[in-house]
Each structure stands twice: as C-alpha cells, then as structure tokens.
C-alpha cells in the first residue's frame, strides 16, 4: 500500500487520535451543525477549531473556497493551501455545470487539470465532492484522463441511487440522515423534478434529538409532500421520534402524513405517486437492517421499493 485516503473526524482531531499521523494532503469541505451536542462540540467555534488542527499537521491543504469558514481555516493553517469551488475565486474551479436527473456534467479550470468531467450522481454537492477528488489527484501529479475516467465510474450504493420502476414516476434511495444532507438531496432532486418531490424519512433513536426538528423543517420547506416514518428507533419509542420530527415540520406549511411502519410508508408513497413525481426515500441508503428495541430485522429500502413495485405490476 502506497496511498491511503481516510476520513478524519473532528473528534479524532480533538482527542489526539491522529496526532502521530503525517498527512500529505488535508481537505476541508464544509462545516454543518450536525456535531453540536453535549457529547461532541459545545458550539460551532469549538467544532471549527478542531477541524483546523488538521491543517497544522499536513504538508498541503485543500480548502473549499465557497465555505463561509474558509477564511479562518486558511489564515490559521500551517501548510501550503490551495482552494477549490464554484462561486468564488479559487485554484480549482468548476463551471458550465449541467444538472441531469441521474448525473452532473461540468468543466474544470486549474493550473493542473482542465477539461470536461461527468459523475453519475446528481446534485451540486456531487460537483463539490468531485472537485475534492480532482484537487487531490492534481496535487499528487495524476493526469487528466485517469481522473476523468475514474469519476465517470463512481457509483455509491444508497447515495442518490435510482430504483428501476418501469412506471411514470421515479424512486430514489439516499443515505441522507442529517438536516444538511437531506437538504442537499432534496434540492438536487428539485432541480430536475417535473412533478412533485415526495420525501419519506425518519430519524434514528438514541441520537441527537435536535436533528429530528431540523430534518422535519428541511423536508417541510423543500418537499411537496412528506411521509414521516421510522428509521432505526433503537431503544426509543418510534412514535415519539416521529412526533419530534413533526415538531420541526410544523414550522412550515407543508403537507405531510405520519406512518410508523417504514414498509407501509414506502408503499403509501408508491401507491399514491403521480406522473413525474420523484419519491426520495432517505435516511438508510445502503443499510440492510432496521434496529428496534428488542430486535434487528433485515430491511433494505431498495429491496422494499422493488418488492412493492413488483406487487403493483403483478396486480395489474
């Protein structure tokens, strides 16, 4: 092994779990409120300062120029810094972005790699993720062709994954399980949706309760219809979690329904789909299980959606 790519969490940095590591390249994408809690970071400043530690222990940094936190990261870094982005001046910039239902195409300008790229995952967040990969490869001296070819082959199970329906509506399964990630996938879908955007999601039990309010509010603001259901309730009462999500969605004037059983929620979405609707089943993505207080069962959103669609076809 001559190259290793690893995710370094803010907790890992703060608790010195990686203090002995010598990183060639460190990357800063952005900062969200997901890890603000009594068990993690007390506030955003604490969270950001933990992230900045990475740029005091790597040789080269790559920073998202479009992040509102970029300035502080760059000013406090102790390494050479390069930037990437879309909106602001930067070293590696994407432009002429074309969004499709199942992919995104864009051009890149930099002093290393220049040309057209395509990734078979929709959304602006995909462009930013691709810029990270392009930037790291550029800094490692990798040429354009293998980077372009590699990105075109990217496929992430449970990440904006389309379930084949043979119907006049679309079903997408996504791992989004925070307010920010749910906002990303719903906005990505909204960009190309000809009909309604229907969101089916729940929140995990024994996790930060504030996340539930935020996800409810995000779905209420963006989706045309929301079906609140169970995720992995763990030791908590599934209905209590759903009621917390409802508290968030009530901050909007959204249309929604509560269905505790996740399979029934997915079935409701599919049976009530209208032409050109896009159903986003969020929260579990690639997971193949559902965790309850007294048991763990096999559950795969993709399989369940396919089974329901097959039942509909068989009954026609």
Instruction: For 246-295, write each residue's pLDDT tens digit.
Output: 999 999 999 999 999 999 999 999 999 999 999 999 999 999 999 999 99
Average pLDDT over residues 231-236: 98
Is the model more confident about 223 or about 313?
A: 223
Whether 316 has a pLDDT exceeding 90, the answer reads no
In degrees, to the nearest 5, what angle opens at C-alpha 302 toward C-alphas 159 and 208?
A: 60
Task: Tell me the average pLDDT of the chain.
Answer: 96
Q: What is the pLDDT of residues 164-207, one digit of tens each?
A: 898 999 999 999 999 999 999 999 999 999 999 999 999 999 98
Averaged pLDDT for residues 294-304 = 98
Pairing of strands 296-298, 289-291: antiparallel
Q: Is the pLDDT of residue 126 over 90?
A: yes
Q: What is the pLDDT of residue 278?
A: 96
H helical segments located in the chain: 10-14, 44-52, 70-76, 124-139, 144-152, 179-190, 210-222, 238-249, 262-271, 301-315
pLDDT at 27: 98
Q: How far apart are CA 194 and CA 192, in angstroms?
A: 6
Domains identified in the chain and CATH numbers: 10-152 (3.40.1190.10), 161-315 (3.90.190.20)
104-109, strands of its sheet edge to edge: 23-28, 58-64, 80-85, 92-99, 104-109, 115-119
Check pLDDT > 80 for residue 83: yes
Model confidence, pTM = 0.90
Q: What is the mean pLDDT of residues 237-241?
A: 98
Nearest to 26 by CA among 50, 45, 8: 8
Instruction: Answer yes or no: are the C-beta atoms of 174 and 285 closer than 8 Å.
Output: yes
Q: Are 207 and 178 in contact (CB under 8 A)?
A: no
pLDDT for residue 91 is more than 90:
yes
């Amino acid at each position: 092994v001559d190259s290793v790519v690893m995710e370094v969490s803010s907790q890992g940095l703060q608790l010195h779990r990686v203090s002995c590591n010598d990183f060639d390249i460190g990357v800063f994408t952005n900062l969200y409120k997901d890890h603000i809690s009594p068990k993690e970071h007390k506030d955003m400043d604490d969270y950001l300062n933990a992230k900045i530690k990475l740029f005091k222990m790597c040789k080269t940094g790559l920073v998202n120029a479009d992040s509102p936190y970029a300035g502080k990261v760059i000013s406090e870094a102790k390494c050479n810094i390069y930037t990437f982005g879309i909106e602001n001046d930067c070293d590696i910039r994407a432009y002429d972005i074309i969004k499709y239902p199942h992919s995104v195409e864009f051009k890149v300008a930099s002093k290393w790699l220049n040309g057209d790229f395509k990734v078979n995952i929709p959304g602006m967040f995909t462009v930013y993720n691709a810029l990270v990969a392009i930037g790291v490869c550029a800094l490692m001296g990798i040429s354009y062709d293998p980077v372009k070819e590699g990105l075109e082959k990217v496929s992430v199970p449970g990440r904006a994954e389309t379930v084949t329906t043979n119907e006049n509506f679309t079903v997408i399964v996504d791992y989004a399980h925070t307010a920010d990630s749910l906002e990303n996938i719903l906005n990505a879908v909204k960009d190309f949706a000809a009909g309604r955007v229907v969101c089916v999601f729940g929140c995990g039990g024994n996790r930060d309760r504030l996340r539930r309010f935020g996800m409810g509010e995000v779905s209420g603001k963006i989706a045309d219809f929301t079906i609140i259901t169970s995720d992995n309730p763990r030791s908590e009462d599934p209905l209590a979690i759903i009621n917390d999500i409802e508290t968030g969605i009530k901050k909007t004037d959204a249309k929604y329904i509560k269905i505790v059983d996740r399979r029934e929620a997915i079935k409701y979405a599919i049976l009530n789909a209208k032409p050109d609707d896009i159903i986003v089943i969020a929260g579990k993505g690639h997971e193949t299980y559902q965790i309850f207080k007294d048991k763990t069962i096999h559950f795969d959103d993709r399989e369940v959606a396919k089974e329901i669609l097959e039942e509909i076809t068989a009954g026609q």
